[in-house]
Structure 1
Amino acid sequence: MNKQPLPKSLRTIDLNKVRIQDSYWSPYVTLVKDTVIPYQWDALNDRVADAEPSHAIKNFRISAGLQDGEFHGFVFQDTDLYKWLEAVGYSLASYPDPDLEAIADEAIELIAAAQQEDGYINTYYTVKEPGNRLTNLTECHEMYTIGHMIEAAVAYASSTGKTALLEVARKAADFIDRHFGPGGDQIQGYDGHQEIEMALIKLYEYTGEERYLNLSYYLINERGQKPSFFLEEWNRRGGISHWSPGNPQKTAPDFSYFQAHKPVREQEVAVGHAVRAVYMYTAMAELAIYKDDAELLAACKRLWNNIVRKQLYINGSIGSTHQGEAFTFDYDLPNETNYSETCASIGLIFFARRMLQAEPNSEYADIMERALYNTVTAGIASDGKHYFYVNPMEVWPAASEGNPDRRHVKSVRQKWYGCACCPPNVARLLSSLGQYIYTTRQNTIYTHLYIGNEAQLELEDTKALITMDSRLPWHGQVSLNISQLEGSGHFTLALRIPSWTDSSTITVNGSPVQPEIHDGYAHIKHDWSVGDVLSVDFSLSARRVYANPLVRANAGKVALQRGPLLYCLEEADNGAVLSSLSLPHDSEIREVQGQWHPELIVLEADGYRTGNGEAQEAPLYSTSASERIPQKITAVPYTLWGNRKPGEMQIWVRE
């Protein structure tokens, strides 16, 4: 297998050439390896007490003819196992584990046994509707499901060298290649949930088979062309939906929900289901690189700019409404009802990473960092066994229980979900974290994330072993040590200047340097030798953040951030009715270290509470202003919220 290089672009680093060694991130990687992966295997086998059952393994056993029974779960239930296997593959690349590998091999045997002779694989259609394959691509995720299997296969083959799952993946990809395309006997359409477009590119990168790349390109180019494929399919079904089979729909689905309302090159605004959107944008960015497609890249930039400048939450999450898990419209960013699915932030990280491969612009890495440090890690509890699907800006537990419009907002993480897309998605991202730190181009190493690691980096004229030490997110000191060199030592280290710092000091072997700044990266060109140390000290302090005035939900409010970490208020520190608190503009923000953990920094300030604690006895409305009572306000990192006693939480505070 010959992995294909990205032409004219920044290259990513193979996972087996990067090892995370970081005081902040290593515990996450270890948590996934030691706790999350075993726990999720139990969940997939329905062995977690008091949790929603997965049925995933049972469905595969029934599909393979190994036991009797009925299919249970969602039509895309297979993907939970596939994403788990992908996480296992990434974990094994850094931490070989024969016992875990043996479990994964058994799961792969089960998957292979469930595959049909023509390459098709989907336990729902094999067990429940064997005669209806590829008849409802709009809703039923068949290609999406195969895509996740392909990604798992590439990850597992890359780490272990074993190709059993890869052969299943290639047979499935060949099935798609035979059935979809411009030919008269082919389906000229695409899946309702984008995913396979990314997966086929990974399969191409690993195998070198260009037809997989071309198939992905076809699916992207075909999307949104007129007449609409989804409309034709809907008409053939007589308006019958998979989700409500007994009630024919009178109107066709909204094609913007699937990002199929117009050709992808003409799209300017992020619309529809947020996860589908960023998965598609990721594939578009990849294809723009491989196909040298400037028009496709321009569309990616437009869509990126719309998200980041008009539809992005401060924690790096996307998706303003639970209705369709979707974007709404520009500047509509409600705090108490937002969706902000964990998977959507993960997809945004995928998109940012691929845009970084197209061009080195620090904004992509800034957003990648924001989503990673906040939403993604907030999606998993410190015990590794409880998860958020939704990542709210504000939580009032009574409203979550009593208001139907807020029941998607949970005040505590759940053990598992019937639709469990997010938990294994977090696992596969954190297991592959080493792929997001660096990219290289010619004789330049770009550092995007400051996560301590040891990495083998290959340039045009040099092979270098670099050790990064990082004190982030609590302190601003980072150093890169040249541990080994082969070939020329003349290359450039390009360091991202984060948007959260006001100043930085860079030295080489203790001597200050004045780097050239391009696109948010400080370029230090040098004749490097073994033992050289590049150090950078980023100023890092608490700062107030304000929303654009067009974001009505945050008018008159302020949020707190320190470095890459967003902060929030919890009831555990500040008492109930957080909405009654205010933080004066001139209040000093104090940094307090070591309350929960020696490194953790909590923010404190002098503020006010409106009311005297007897609000329930007061009239509902009054002509008298409420009393303002001084109160200390405590803010903790948002990523850690919900790990103590359940209660209220909010990010934006009245100023």
Structure 2
Amino acid sequence: MYEKKVAPIALDHIRIGDPFWKPYMELVRNHVIPYQWEALNDRIENAEPSHCIRNFRIAAGLEEGDFQGYCFQDSDVYKWLEAVAYSLMWHKDPELEKTADETIELIASAQQPDGYLDTYYIIKGLDKRFTNLMDRHELYCLGHMIEAAVAYFKATGKDRFLKVATRFVDCVCENFGTDPGKIPGYPGHEVAEMALVLLYGVTGDEKHLKLAKYFIDQRGQSPLFFEEEEKKNNNECYWNDSYMKKQYYQAGKPVRMQKKAEGHAVRAVYLYSGMAEVASATGDASLFEACETLWNNIVQRQMYITGAIGSTQYGESFTFDYDLPNDTIYAETCAAIGLIFFARRMFEITGESRYIDVMENTLFNAVISGMSLDGKSFFYVNPLEANPESSLKDYYKRHVKIERQKWFGCACCPPNIARLLSSIGGYAYEANTDEIYMNLFIGGEIEAELGGAKQKLSVETGYPWNGDVAVTIHNDAESEFTLAVRIPGWCENYSLEVNGEKIVGADVISNGYAKLKRNWKDGDTVVLKMEMPIRLMEANPRVRADAGKVAVTRGPLVYCLEEADNGKLLQNLSLSDAPEFNCHFEKDMANGVVVIDANGHRTSEKFWGEDQLYRVYSDNKKEDVRMTFIPYYFWANRTPGELLVWVRR
């Protein structure tokens, strides 16, 4: 019942030529991956050092020195290798592959005789390994190692890295469990759970699936392992004095009893992704129900309009329902990417488009905002309101930057973006033996075995700037299969044609997809035209930060005001009661963007005395202005300045 209905089409069967996404993919391949390699080797001037490669060299005995950086520093190179693997799937690059092979050999040379591999403890003392699972990230690093190793194996056919990862898994299997003498623990930072199911899909070894299920089933059981670990090893938990306590790690109670997304946002969605994987692989109904409950809590009560999650800097965490401040927001890029992982798995199990709606919204807004258009600077935090002076002088807003940073000491986000964008084709197109799903409207050529025959789909679209999508089928012989085209949740009016004949949507819509089942012939065409009106969105009245305000959206994009177009003091702008909008395409912005103008008002300072802080209310202090909205992801790519998404009416 919970088996996945579809799987991603292999990246070497997808040739993306999309005018929006192709430049991003090429940017990652030509600039981001090489730039991040320089960063991992501490060769970026005026950027925080990574220490990552040097730690491996020290652990392998090739250099002398102490461990530097965060305890999870190893994961940065694993995510980089995963991005490399995806890039190699759709663009062969012998030099890049050679660099990756050499890096894998360096990693392998640090591996211990029993398979253990974590540079933090190899350098600082193996006698302390597995003594602070709560905070020291060994199993987190293992998870990212597995994901990279599987991707590299699929990309190149080389199993060197896969064997290294599998040996580390064997070491964990030997040491963990509820049997006498074993450690009854689980990861403090989740990711190993979904990675182990991925590994099981390649190896077919049941112990890999069993370990993933063990980590999930054991989590939060009484007595709480992290509390016992604290006592035994004299560890200190920073969160014991917070309202979250062990729920910071999603470990305060069993996962099936958790009804709200709580604690560190990235850990949470990584865990939920693993829960969905295990529920699907084992047919666990109660675990899947927990996934649905947690999903609904996130998207109905704790998600920003951009798809961002994690509303507070304190613990990079969820707080409580409807608490969505815009200026003290955290909204880590990694958390948005983790939500996409969760969405994809829920879709694959259910076939319901509502999960892809969230994926698309998050991708276009909360993810690509995290990287500059040149791929050389990054946001860790993605605010919906920003003021340069507040970021500089307000202690509680110092995490909100108005310029992207070259690198971070804690550099989880940049390689996470790289691996996601390098593999975007697999999110866009998924299939089984008889159906192919168009989840995201990304142009290019897709090859798949459908209806027992080879098919090629050519897709052309101007998305997200317009809603026109054209698909042409190419095959050698007529064959029956289903082409499932998503009708986005934002789309209220559309037309659909097959070979020029109109299709009545109600006749073919199932779970948010237009399912076109027929005998397809070479040259058959499908044309989807979606109207893309400008929409004013309002938040639930319980969201205090957005009361009396609206957000401007068009298609999948959230728009914002930026100081570069509208001047300072954006909070003084308001839309007219009946705003007139005008859209125009600015080809010189980035690779071209649709900009929106609207009529509104500005509260003018000239009606105030210089030393007047308060006065009797008067409505006669507004000036008519024309306001300019740009796509949210595009902000901070020009002159640094203020940002505002939610605008007063």
Q: Given the alignment of the two structures, is residue 623 of structure 1 paired with residue 613 of structure 2, yes or no?
A: no
Partner of 1:237: 233
Q: CA deviation at 1:532?
A: 0.7
Q: CA deviation at 1:251?
A: 9.2
Partner of 2:358: 367
Alignment length, in residue pairs?
A: 644
Q: Given the alignment of the two structures, is residue 645 of structure 1 paired with residue 639 of structure 2, yes or no?
A: yes
Distance 2:250 2:390 in 1: 32
Q: Percent identity?
A: 50
Partner of 2:142: 146
1:378 aligned to which of 369, 372, 385: 369
2:450 aligned to which of 459, 464, 468: 459
2:586 aligned to which of 585, 594, 617: 594
Alignment of 1:196-595 (within 5 A): 196-240=192-236, 254-459=245-450, 461-485=452-476, 489-514=479-504, 515-594=507-586
In 2, are the aligned partners of 1:445 and 1:494 still within 8 Å (CA)?
yes
Distance 1:306 1:624, change over 3 A: closer
SS in 2 for 1:270: coil
Q: CA deviation at 1:453?
A: 2.3
Q: CA deviation at 1:7?
A: 4.0
Q: Deviations over 1:356-410 (max 9, x none)?
A: 1101111100000011111110000011000000000100110011011000100
Distance 1:551 1:224, change over 3 A: same
In 2, are the aligned partners of 1:239 and 1:250 still within 8 Å (CA)?
no
Partner of 2:127: 131
Distance 2:606 2:272 in 1: 49
Alignment of 1:27-176 (within 5 A): 27-176=23-172
Q: Deviations over 1:330-361 (max 9, x none)?
A: 00000100100000000000000001110111
Distance 1:119 1:259 in 2: 28
SS in 2 for 1:605: strand
Give the letter aligned to residue 175 of structure 1. C
In 1, are the aligned partners of 2:108 and 2:164 still within 8 Å (CA)?
yes
Distance 1:250 1:545 in 2: 38
Q: Structure 1 residues 71-80 or 459-468, which shifts more?
A: 459-468
Give the letter aligned to residue 384 of structure 2. M
Structure 2 unpaired stretches of 5+: none
Q: Structure 1 residues 279-288 or 596-605, which shifts more?
A: 596-605
Distance 1:303 1:458 in 2: 35
Q: CA deviation at 1:503?
A: 0.9
Give the letter aligned to residue 282 of structure 2. K
Structure 1 unpaired stretches of 5+: 1-5
Q: CA deviation at 1:526?
A: 1.4
Give the letter aligned to residue 593 of structure 1. F
SS in 2 for 1:140: coil
Distance 1:102 1:375 in 2: 33
SS in 1 for 2:316: coil
Give the letter aligned to residue 131 of structure 2. T
Distance 1:425 1:356 in 2: 21
Q: Given the alignment of the two structures, is residue 611 of structure 1 paired with residue 604 of structure 2, yes or no?
A: yes
Give the letter aligned to residue 634 of structure 2. L
SS in 2 for 1:573: helix
Q: CA deviation at 1:502?
A: 1.6
In 2, are the aligned partners of 1:341 and 1:390 still within 8 Å (CA)?
yes
In 2, are the aligned partners of 1:320 and 1:333 still within 8 Å (CA)?
yes
Q: CA deviation at 1:615?
A: 5.9
TM score, norm. by length of structure 2 = 0.97
In 1, are the aligned partners of 2:451 and 2:481 still within 8 Å (CA)?
no
Distance 1:339 1:460, change over 3 A: same
SS in 2 for 1:617: coil
Distance 2:549 2:598 in 1: 15
Distance 2:355 2:112 in 1: 41
Give the letter aligned to residue 330 of structure 1. D
TM score, norm. by length of structure 1 = 0.96
Q: CA deviation at 1:178?
A: 1.1
Give the letter aligned to residue 326 of structure 1. S
Distance 1:157 1:595 in 2: 40
Distance 1:451 1:8, change over 3 A: closer
SS in 2 for 1:286: helix
Give the letter aligned to residue 641 of structure 2. G
